[in-house]
Every structure is written in C-alpha cells, then in structure tokens.
Amino acid sequence: MADTVGGAEITVAKSPRLRQTRKGQVRKHIINVKVRNEIGVLARIATLIAGKGYNIESLSVGETHEPGISRMTIEVVGDDIVIDQVVKQLRKLIDTLKVRDITDVPHVERELVLVKVHTPTSRARDEVLRIVEIFRGKIVDVSPETYTIEVTGDEEKINAMLELLKPFGIKEMARTGKVAMRRELFIEEGNLE
Amino acid sequence: MSRKGADIVIETLKEEGVDVIFGLPGGAIMEVYDALYRDGGIKHILARHEQGAGHMAEGYAKATGKVGVAMTTSGPGATNIVTPIADAYMDSVPMVVITGQVPTHMIGNDAFQEVDIVGITRPITKHNFLVRNIDELPLIIRKAFYIASTGRPGPVLVDIPKDITQQLSDVKIPSLEEVKKALPGYKPHTEGNIQQIKKAVKLIMEAKRPVLYVGGGAVNAEAQEELIELAELMKIPVATTTQGKGAFPENHPLALRMLGMHGTYYANMAVYNSDLLIAVGARFDDRVTGKIDEFAPDAKIIHIDIDPASISKNIIVDVPIVGDVKIVLRKLINELKRKGAKVTHPEEREKWLEQIEKWKKLHPLTYKNSKKVIKPQYVIEQIYEVTNGDAIIVPGVGQHQMWAAMFYKYSYPRQFLNSGGLGTMGFGLPAGIGAKIGRPEKEVFVIDGDGSFVMTMQEIITAVQYRVPVKVAIVNNAYLGMVRQWQELFYSKRYSEVDLSLQPDFVKLAEAMGAVGFRAEKPKEVREILEEAMKVEDRPVIMDFVVDREENVLPMVPPGKSYKDMILEDGRGAEAETMYLVG
C-alpha cells in the first residue's frame, strides 16, 4: 500500500514485522562447553548463566583425553532466543574453546544415580532386586535395612526406575547431572541405541 | 636475571608502552609502588580516591585509544574501583586494572583488607586474573593488555598477592606470539563474511529510505573516513549514539546527529521511517530503541559489529556482519564500487533526503533563551564558540550531559567522552583529567552538573597537583536535574529528594583546593568568564554557572515509548505532527 511521508510517497508494510525479543520457545537445552581447566572457569560460566536470570538444571564437569581441557555439559531451561545469547556470551569467555547447543542435533545423554532404598523385609528385597535387574542397575551396597543401587541411563529411564522405587522409601539419593555427546553421523543413520 | 615480582610488573608495563598509571597506594600494593619509585620510568598520577583513578584511566583511554592503566591496593582500594570497571565494561573501554592482594597464604582467611576482587569483578570485566605463581606474572600482565585492547575492548583486572610481588624470579617477558599461543580460545573476528557483505550491498543499493546508525564501535575502530565515504557515495543520512559522536562530523549535510531518547526529531523520524537501517558498531541499547516493537518498524537491518554476542541480542537483524567496523566498511565500499554503486530508486532516494531536510527545518534543536536567567543550553553554545568547536568535551551524567551532547557539535572521534552505558554520575572531572593528560595539546572541557560534580570533586586536588589545566563548567541548577525532570513529567511533580540547593560555594571550594574559581549568575557574564578561563594554562578552572532551575532536556522519547510519542522542544507531543507517518 502507498502512503506519504511529507511530500514523498512511501510504500509500507501494513503490519510491521514483529521484532520483539524474548519470545522464543521455552524448553530444556543441553549445552556442551569445552574449556581450559583454569581456576575459576566453572564460576565464570555459572555466573554468566545466572546473570542472564537462568537456573542451571544440571551441570557436570570432567577432564577430557586432552590434558588441561575439561568438558562441561550444562542443562538449562529457557527461551530459545535467550539461550542463543547465552551460548554467544559463553563463546566470548576467554577460557572457553568450544560451545555448542546440541539440543536439536542427535546426541547421547547419560546420567548416573546412586539411590539408597529402604528394604527391611525379604519381600521388599526381592521386589527391588527385580526392578534393578529390569533396569540393568547394580546393587553396590547392602545393609540389613537398605540397598544402595547404581544406575546409569537417560532421563526417562532413570525417572521410570525412581518412580518404581519410591513406594519402598528412598532414604538418600545422589545424581551426577547429565553428560551428553553428539552422535556421529553413521550411528545416527543406523538408528542405534 | 633475578628480580622481584614488583619489578617484573613495572618491566612488563614498560614493555606494553605504558607511560602513565593512575592510582593510589596501600599495604598490599606497596612493593609495586616501591619498584615504580626506584625505576622512575613511568609517570604516576596520585588520585584522591580510587574511583577517581579508574575514571582517569578511562578518560585517558577514551581520548587516546590506548589502554588506560589504574592501580590500587587490596580490599577497599579494589572495591572503590569497581564502578569505573563496570563503566569501562559497558562502554567497551580498554583498561587494565592492577590490584594488590593479601599474601597467598592468607587468601580466604578474612585477612586485613582482603576481598575476593576477582569474584566481585567477574561479571563486569572482559576477563580477570589472580596471579598464583611469580613465573606466570609477566605472561598474565601481557595477556591482560592483549585482551583489553583487541576485539571488543574492555577492562581486565589483574590481582597480585603481596608475596608474589616480593618473591624473586628470572622469568622472561614473553613475546606477543607466546601470549597469543597461551590464549587458544580467544580469537576475535575482524574480517567480516564476504557473503554477508554482498547481501548488505544489495540491500543498500535497493533501499529507498536508508539510514546509518553509528555507535561507539565506529569510534574504537577509527572508521571516520570510511563512514564519510560510504554516506557520501550512497547518499545515506547518518545518526549517531552518544558513544558514536564524532565518528561522523555533525556539521556534515548528511548528519542527523543523535538518535534515541534525547535524539533530534529528524534523526528519530528518519530512523522510524527508514526501510533500511545500517547499524555500525552500535548495540541497540534501550536508550536508543525505546519501545522495541516500534523501533524502525518497516526497516530491514544490517548490523556490523566486532562482538558476535551483540548481534540479534535486542533486535533480530537481517544481515549480521561480524568484524572490525573499519575493515568491514572498507570491504563494503569496495564491493559497492565494484557493482557501480548504483541506487535502484534514485528518485525515491532524493525525496527521502528532501523529506529529512524538511524535518530538520520543522524541528531543529532549539530552546528559548532568556536575558534574565542563564539557560543551560546557552552555556554549552558559548563553550562551543570560545573553543571553536575543537575542544574535547567530557560530561558527567544527567541533564547537562544531554545538553552537552545536543548543543556542541562534534567533528572528530574521541571528542565527546561520556559515560554512556552505565551512566555514572561523577565520571566527568576525573575522566576529564585523564583525557587532558592523554591529549595535552587539546582543550579539555568538563561539562558537569552540580549533583554529578560533588560525587568526585576531590579530584580537583589531583588536577592542581599535576598542573592539569582542565576546564570545568558546572551547569548548576541545584537539583538532581534529570531525576527532577522525570518526576515532573511522569510523577506529577512530586520532587522526591532531588533538591540540592544546599551546595558548597564552588568558587571558594576551587580556591581552597588551589584551582581558579568563577561564577556567573547572569547571561552576560557567561562569555566573560569563559574567556577568562581560557587564559588559565597552569591549573584547573572551576566555573559555576547558576542556571534556570527547571529547564528540561527536550526533545525526549518517554521511557518505553516509541519515537512517534516524542515530546518536542516546546513541550508538546509529536503526535499531531506525525499523523502522516508510518504506523
């Protein structure tokens, strides 16, 4: 449509393209960060994410095969556009070598959980043992009243097992937080798990 | 050759070409001050407060483009310089801050004058370091300078425990190559993607109503020549932010001057009605965009910036180009010329420029002068005249800052040095001292407000001690003026805690500190004192201009509103006049 600005004829779009920010989809993001293992690097990364107003759902750090280089897997729930900004800001940090949001690429996720379950009766012990076997967990400590179980897997598997163990009474639990890695292409095509 | 850590600090600073340090000594940094004394090769300016030292380093850096260096002791010395660090971070000022720290074995023990300054400054530095081993000391200091001055510049802090300054080592100062090698994750992009540049070229040639929106990145990159060439080649009008002032000369026919909250009517209308906005080293700050949905609603956006994280942060852009502004603009111009630099719609482009001329005539920057009472804008105009438009202007923060931005015309980069991002009251005087030390050949005028000035006025003594002939014009309305203006406009004149009518006698204060003091209460006295002040060459001059108390900074885009809701220079809304505009 045509409009005039002063004397000049100007064609304008009827509805201006919406450029409002902070309106992406809110969901869980998995961010991989390769960092130089310097003092304070964890604090720097955590401060940056917290400074944008986001809570870190899980964070795991460990050395890689390269000396002095660590890998972090950060899970954070947030708006796509703002997470994109967080990723860009993480890239700017002097000690980061590589940052990648792998949420939308095929990737493998794992978490390790230790859970201490109340098992005072032999019936409870049998039941728990069966559940552990089904989920390919391991019993790593036994006491007259408890089993301590180790299990690794993705979020769904772990949650499903914990749900089944809940009725027995969970006395203690520790989770490592996720580690995640991008799948290589040939595995992706072969649809392996 | 074995020498103390403190000597290594001085040696490395000299290697970096540091000629002046702004600082204040104390227990944890004493070894370095002793080495400075023994060496004698670097000038030191003793500020009266660490905040002053920090702003001086900023003023020096902003005026010269070199890295400003500030040095303080641990604990309160370090926390006192936090504000200038945050200020430098927001305005991308290259600065290295060296702080003393308690001895290594006492860190974490709540020792005397201990704070975790590395932790405190983590979110407001480009990077920071705690030195843990004397052998890494020269590498860390060199890294600090390299990081501060490359890519998007910023402040870097180096915290050095006292025992490390006392230990002995024969460590060598590493070469720049070794410094780069030790920073494998740090690689600023400077070149700009050629595919994106080609896309930009196409948009620029096809645009009917283009506008250049220029920020501090263009000043940092020293890109004035390229900007003028691009604007003239393609006939594109140019608006600048406060940080971008002087990147494009304001007396150029294509200059729209400042845009945003206190931008000119014609700059804001041009941006609002543009169909192509070329953002150059600018970051779409909320003081520029106003209501984001209605900022340049019909425009495609090209964004050139050295910082990839600045792109699509506040506004989603169509063509992002990451790179050094000067390099990218040069490539852009070359590509435009290769394509014949043709405008697809020359008639529309002509009409666009005509329309802008009309807007310029309709609402120029103006104010109602008076013969009875001094108008603040009049003071700025007179400063412009007595300095022939050539002085470096350093404002504090508040109404006077905006008047200084509006009523002085800037023609070269690094001519208007202001606290743009953080808006730090008290920035003016110390930053002006730093600027004058960096550029002694230039007249440096601090234009301050009475509220802003009293926040760091102790630094007059510093200027007197080192015979820094900085000129200070206090636009004295006995109010926290900008807050008062907002209270008048948006809080029904409920003037909550903004009255500063009890202020010191600035003339006596200046004299007590060894400076020259003047006061003007009537319009005709303004020019007289300015001319007197210009004659003083060996010490600072403090001029107290008693101005109209309730003058407002206009035009103004109310916070959170769009350009079309501007309040004009006569206090009326722009609505009636913008009926014919887009939207």
A19 contact residues in B (CB cutoff 8 A) = 292-293, 295, 297, 315-316
The residue from B4, B143, B162, B360 that is catalytic is B162
Question: Do B293 and A19 lie within an 8 Å CB cutoff?
Answer: yes
- Contact: B355, A7; criterion CB under 8 Å: yes
User: What is the spatial order of strands in the sheet that B516-520 belongs to?
Assistant: B392-395, B444-449, B471-476, B541-546, B516-520
Res. B159: pLDDT tops 90: yes
Q: Which chain A residue is nearest to residue B297, measuring alpha carbons?
A: A16
Measured CA to CA, the distance from residue B553 to residue B400 in angstroms comes to 9
> Is A108-180 the same fold as A27-105?
yes
CB pairs under 8 A between A and B: 92
- The CATH code of the domain that includes B466 is 3.40.50.970
Q: Is B171 in the same domain as B199?
A: no
Provide mean pLDDT across the span B459-469: 98
Q: At what angle do helices B376-386 and B399-407 cross, to 10 degrees?
A: 50
In sequence order, the 6+-apart residues with CB closer than 8 A to the CB of B442 are: B63, B390, B391, B392, B435, B436
Residue B368 lies in a domain: no
The CA distance from B451 to B474, in Å, is 9
Domain boundary among B182, B212, B241: B182
pLDDT mean over B66-81: 98
Q: How far is B538 from chain A (nearest CA, A)?
A: 44
Residue B223 lies in a domain: yes
Among B312, B330, B362, which residue terminates a domain? Answer: B362
Task: Report residue B315's pLDDT band, with 50, 70 and 90 as the boundaries.
Answer: confident
pLDDT given at position A144: 94
Rounded to two decimals, the ipTM of the complex is 0.87
Residues across chain B: 583
Bridge pairing between strands B238-240 and B255-258: parallel
* Cα–Cα distance, A184 to B546 (Å, whole number): 73
Task: Tell me if B210 sits within 8 A of B204, measured CB to CB.
Answer: yes
- B297 vs A6, which has greater pLDDT? B297
Which residues of B fall within a CB distance of 8 Å from A49? Answer: none
Mean pLDDT confidence for A50-73 = 91
Whether residue B218 has pLDDT greater than 50: yes
Half-sphere exposure of B138 (CA within 13 A, CB side): 22
**Best of B271, B286, B581 to mutate (most A CBs within 10 Å, chain A):** B581
Task: Provide the pLDDT for residue B565.
Answer: 87
- Residues of B at the A interface (Cβ-Cβ below 8 Å)? 118-119, 122-123, 126-127, 130, 132, 147, 183-186, 208-209, 273, 292-295, 297-298, 307-309, 312-316, 348, 351-352, 354-355, 358-359, 580-583
Domain final residue, candidates B182, B214, B247: B182
Q: Which residues of A touch B582 (CB under 8 A)?
A: 3, 5, 10, 12
- Output phi, psi for B572, to 5 deg: -80, 160
| Judgement on whether residues B391 and B321 belong to the same structural domain of the protein | no
Cβ contacts (< 8 Å) between B313 and chain A: which residues? Answer: 21, 85
Let me know: does B29 contact B71? Beta carbons within 8 Å: yes
CB contact under 8 A, A36 and B130: no
List % helix, strand, coil for chain B (3-state, nearest 5). 40, 15, 40
The predicted structure's pLDDT at residue A167: 96
Helix then strand count (H, E) for chain A reads: 5, 11
**Catalytic residue (one of B11, B16, B31, B50):** B50
Structure confidence at residue B155 as a pLDDT band (50, 70, 90): very high
| Interface membership of A53 toward B (CB under 8 Å) | no
Residue B422 lies in a domain: yes
**Structural domain that includes position B125:** 3-182
Q: State the smallest CA–CA distance between residue A70 and chain B in angstroms.
A: 13
B479-507 pLDDT, tens digit each: 999 999 999 999 999 999 999 999 999 99
| Superfamily designation of domain A108-180 | ACT-like. Chain A, domain 2 (3.30.70.1150)
H or E, element range at A112: strand A107-118
The confidence band for A11, taking pLDDT boundaries of 50, 70 and 90, is very low
pTM: 0.93
Give the Cα separation of B393 and B582 in Å (integer): 37
Looking at the structure, do residues B220 and B171 belong to the same domain, yes or no? no
Chain B residues closer than 8 Å to A3 by CB: 580, 582
A2 lies within 8 A of chain B by CB: no
Of the residues B455, B482, B543, B556, only one is catalytic, namely B482
Q: Between residues A179 and A6, which one has the greater pLDDT?
A: A179
- pLDDT reported for residue A6: 43
pLDDT bracket for residue B575 (50, 70, 90): low
Segment A65-98, tens digit of pLDDT: 999 999 999 999 988 888 888 999 999 999 999 9
pLDDT over 90 at B571, yes or no? no
Please compute the mean of the pLDDT values over residues B497-523 and round it to a whole number.
97
- Examine the pLDDT at A22 and tell me if it is beyond 50: no
| Helix (H) or strand (E) segment spanning residue B429 | helix B428-438
Please state the domain extents for chain A.
27-105, 108-180
Q: Identify the residue whose tokens are 């949650």.
A: A159
Residues of A in contact with B315 (CB under 8 A): 19, 21
pLDDT the model gives residue B577: 54
Closest CA–CA distance from residue B508 to any residue of chain A (Å)? 46
Confidence category of residue B174, pLDDT binned at 50, 70, 90:
very high
From the candidates B43, B112, B178, B575, which is the catalytic residue? Answer: B112
In terms of Cβ atoms closer than 10 Å to its own Cβ (0-12, 13-18, 19+), residue B77 is buried
pLDDT of residue A23: 61
Cα-atom radius of gyration of chain A, to the nearest Å?
A: 24
Q: Do B355 and A5 touch (CB under 8 A)?
A: yes
The total number of structural domains that make up chain B: 3
Regarding whether B494 and B392 lie in a shared domain, the answer is yes
**What is the arithmetic mean of pLDDT over B290-319?**
91
- Give me the architecture of the A27-105 domain, per CATH: 2-Layer Sandwich (3.30)
Contacts of A43 in chain B (CB under 8 A): 119, 122
Per-residue pLDDT at B314 = 86
pLDDT of residue B42: 98
Q: Confirm whether B113 is a catalytic residue.
A: yes
Is a pLDDT exceeding 80 seen at residue A46?
yes
- What mean pLDDT is predicted for residues A1-26? 48
